[in-house]
Structure 1
Amino acid sequence: MSAVKIAERWFERQSVGDGVTLLYEPHVHPFIRCNIWHVAGRDRDLLIDTGTGVASLRAEVAKITARPVTAVATHIHYDHVGSFHEFDCRLMHEYEAPRMRDYREFAALDMAHFPEDIRACLAGYGLAEADGALVDALPHEGYDIASYRVRSIEATGTIGEGDVIDLGDRHFSVFHLPGHSPGSIGLFEAATKTLFSGDAIYDGPLLDELPGSDIAVYRQTIKRLRDMEVAIVHGGHDPSFGRERMIEICDAWLALRG
């Protein structure tokens, strides 16, 4: 069914404590409803992933902060980089930054446009036989779902394993967590044992057969995550969770993939 209603507001936000705010797009199907994480810092703020780009994320973030913002893409999939172009400081892993400069990745808001190889990966989400729009509203009159594209943009910097993002009073170490995609990363704050994991791990079916995914590489990432001393994990999708749940997710995936 095509989306016909006009959304009163495109984003919702929720404070989760410790200076962290979750932003999300309620009118987007959960499959591509990325968790967008805003972290307040003393000198600048951090934005982890940028959603679909259907509506202006920068305008929404401006309601939260007047400080400069560092936008980090945990990986290149379209539900995480749609508004990447809106921010002046843009960081992503060196493996995927060249592909962001000339964006040719798959991106669609309608299941009718999904190729068969991607549909085949989505059984865990109940989408394999789905058809129709992945949004249940439009951001404004005249918005054309079929014309949806992700804007190509050059990252202003690349990041990789061991790099640190400094907000003045908060510091986040970059972990390279490939498998879901070659340049997937997470950000870890040692002081609070908080991990922003992107799509390397979240509390839902982990996608490991997409174009660019690598199960053998992913296995090493999952084993690494299982051994991490974390207090809270804020994933790229679905609710946040603690270390005990992370171990359960890792063990379930390892049992499935061997």
Structure 2
Amino acid sequence: MNTDVGDLPVAPQWFRFTVLDERTTLIEEPHVRGLLRANAWHLRGRNRDLLVDCGLGVTALAPLLLERFGREPVLVLTHAHLDHMGSAHEFSDVWAHPLEPIDDPAPGSLHGPALAAQMGLDETLPSALLTARPHGDYDLSTYRVRPATRTRALTDGDLVDLGDYALTVLHLPGHSPGSIALFDQTTGTLFSGDVIYDDVLLDSLPGSDIRQYARSLRRLRNLPVRVTQPGHGRSFGRDRLHHLIDSYLHSVRNSG
């Protein structure tokens, strides 16, 4: 497909919802190119619903969730990168670690070379980081990450209580200073954000720290994680989690 911005088609539906079980719905933006195609996770609780991350923010998400689930969820941001907090300004309750600058995020861009420069990436990114537009008059050049208001500061060990179950906040810096994951100790399910996913881990972005990243992954390896629901790509089990962690730690040792 021609990736010139003017030639992008209009997507008939921007978000894709996949129900995994009675509690968990995966929300994706299939018309976003690989680097920025992130997962958001909607978790149904007895007393409240939870949304883990919220995508790029190129079109409204909160009204769709209200229509689909009947109430607005609390939004937990695993970190403040554009592909995870783009829609955060739409939500009334936004929880994040205090080290993540959600009130003053990097502006972001949907133009590949501009974003690569912002993020300090060596790789060449496509001109348009979308394969479609959310509506006919959408202009990719106007995209900016809008600031959000943090209503609760999350720190390591905090509980996110949904009424019938709770998730534990894990502060796992490295990808960013305030990167967090959420761990359901009852089921062994980890919502990992960008701390771990099944691809090359980005540890050279502004705010990244390789030593902290390695320390965070060593900690994560010792937890009884059964399944990881990552910020990008497919879910994976314990063996794959350990392989990804061991591969990263091996590469860090060899490079140091």
Q: 2:33 aligns with which of 23, 29, 35?
A: 29
1:239 aligned onto 2:234: yes
Distance of 2:171 and 2:195 partners within structure 1 = 10
Describe the shift of the 1:110–1:192 C-alpha distance in structure 2 as closer, same or farther (beyond 3 A): same
Distance of 1:18 and 1:228 partners within structure 2 = 25
Match of 1:226 in 2: 221
Q: 1:190 aligns with which of 182, 185, 196?
A: 185
Distance of 2:107 and 2:203 partners within structure 1 = 16
Shift of 1:253: 0.4
Shift of 1:102: 2.5
Q: 1:135 aligns with which of 123, 130, 134?
A: 130
- Using the size of structure 1 for normalisation, the TM-score is 0.93
Shift of 1:115: 4.5
Runs of 4+ with >4 A deviation: none
Gaps of 5+ in 2: none
Alignment of 1:105-184 (within 5 A): 105-116=106-117, 118=119, 120-121=121-122, 128-184=123-179
Q: How many equivalent residue pairs?
A: 249
RMSD value, Cα: 1.4
Match of 2:50 in 1: 46
Distance of 2:19 and 2:249 partners within structure 1 = 33
Matched-pair identity in %: 42
Counterpart of 1:114, as a letter, is: L
1:204 aligned onto 2:199: yes
Match of 1:125 in 2: none
1:102 aligned onto 2:104: yes
Gaps of 5+ in 1: 122-127
Shift of 1:245: 0.5
**Alignment check: 8 A CA contact 1:2 1:136 kept:** no
1:86 aligned onto 2:109: no
- Using the size of structure 2 for normalisation, the TM-score is 0.93
Distance of 1:115 and 1:137 partners within structure 2 = 20
Distance of 1:203 and 1:106 partners within structure 2 = 26
Distance of 1:222 and 1:77 partners within structure 2 = 20
